[in-house]
């Protein structure tokens, strides 16, 4: 009987050790998932004027089930909470924010985009500034483009306010003189014209108040005109509104003078003819569609 009891005790002890060892071998490592992340990108605006819309694309990513997205303006909830339907991975939502019609120019609006998943929450923050109904254009800038076949610069960069030469990238050439070897010899062998070698477009305008031009007037004139990449023969006093490179920056250009230079003493062309102009510019989309965000 005593031997049987010892044997039973030994079997129980052995079984206990086996169980302990088995538990140690089966420990599961901690499983981690991709963290919650919120990314906001502005995709359109109407000049940030009171009563107008700003549209954002909000992208939420997480390895956990995503629950909700809400948007607050100056700590006040905008609309209803958006249900993210327990999705995992990535979800993109277009959010339209309407600026209060009674907002004052210069008001700062702080926007907070907060998403939650199964475990936590994350926010992205940005701010916009309410614009004036009439936005003055910037200071007047002087420019000149010379005969394309001459030794001086025949192109102008309206973004960086500098001349461009033949060796420069075409993407930087908003105004390029069109004179070529096939231009007729009459009229001093010079075409008082220009064209863009990028996506900049021009609209000829009449009865436009250049001296007191505003961004709103420029946008309106451009929207109601025929936008072209090459303008016809110009003369002093002509005014054009340009939209730069398919973006949201507008330029109002006034031709100040067309200078036709005399031939050389041997009756050959000196190719120093030029178009002198001034311009003013302003930007409608102040954020330029950039991703503006901070996290907390």
d(CA 174, CA 158): 6
Closest CA to 234 of 259, 262, 207, 252: 259
The helix (run of H) or strand (run of E) holding residue 15 is helix 2-25
| Residues linked to residue 78 through DSSP beta bridges, in sequence order | 71
pLDDT band at 14 (very low <50, low <70, confident <90, very high): very low
Helix (H, G, I), strand (E, B) or coil at 70: strand
Lowest mean pLDDT among 91-105, 245-259, 267-281: 267-281
Q: Top-level CATH class of 37-129?
A: mainly beta
Record the tokens describing residue 13, joined without a space: 């002890």
d(CA 59, CA 40): 6
Closest CA to 58 of 95, 110, 99: 95
Higher pLDDT, 59 or 189: 59
pLDDT band at 276 (very low <50, low <70, confident <90, very high): very high
The answer, as to whether pTM is greater than 0.75, is no
239, 252 Cβ separation under 8 angstroms? yes
- What is the percent of the chain with per-residue pLDDT over 90, rounded to a whole number? 64
For 111-152, write each residue's pLDDT tens digit.
999 999 999 999 999 999 998 777 889 899 999 999 988 889
* pLDDT at residue 32, as a whole number: 55
Q: Average pLDDT, stretch 50-54?
A: 92
For 182-203, write each residue's pLDDT tens digit.
877 666 778 999 999 999 999 9
CATH 2.60.40.1930 residue ranges for the chain: 37-129
């Amino acid at each position: 009987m005593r031997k049987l009891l010892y044997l039973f005790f030994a079997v129980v002890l052995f079984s206990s050790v086996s169980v302990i060892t088995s538990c140690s071998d089966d420990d599961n490592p901690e499983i981690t998932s991709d963290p919650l992340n919120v990314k906001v990108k502005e995709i359109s605006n109407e000049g940030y004027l009171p009563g107008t819309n700003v549209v954002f694309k909000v992208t939420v990513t997480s390895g956990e089930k995503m629950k909700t997205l809400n948007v607050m303006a100056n700590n006040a909830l905008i609309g209803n909470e958006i249900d993210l339907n327990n999705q995992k991975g990535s979800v993109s939502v277009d959010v339209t924010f309407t600026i209060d019609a009674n907002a004052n120019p210069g008001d700062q609006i702080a926007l907070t985009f907060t998403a939650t998943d199964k475990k936590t929450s994350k926010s992205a923050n940005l701010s916009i500034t309410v614009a004036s109904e009439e936005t003055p254009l910037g200071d007047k800038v002087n420019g000149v483009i010379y005969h394309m076949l001459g030794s001086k610069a025949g192109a102008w960069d309206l973004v960086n306010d500098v001349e461009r030469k033949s060796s420069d990238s075409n993407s930087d050439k908003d105004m390029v003189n069109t004179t070529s070897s096939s231009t007729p010899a009459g009229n001093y062998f010079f075409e008082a014209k220009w064209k863009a070698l990028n996506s900049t477009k021009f609209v000829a305008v009449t009865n436009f108040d250049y001296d007191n031009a505003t961004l709103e007037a420029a946008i309106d004139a451009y929207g109601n005109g025929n936008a072209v990449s090459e303008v016809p023969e110009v003369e002093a006093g002509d005014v054009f509104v340009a939209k730069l490179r398919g973006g949201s920056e507008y330029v109002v250009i006034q031709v100040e003078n067309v200078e036709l230079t005399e031939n050389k003493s041997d009756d050959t062309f000196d190719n120093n003819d030029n178009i002198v102009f001034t311009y003013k510019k302003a930007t409608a989309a102040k954020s330029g569609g950039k991703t503006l965000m901070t996290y907390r």
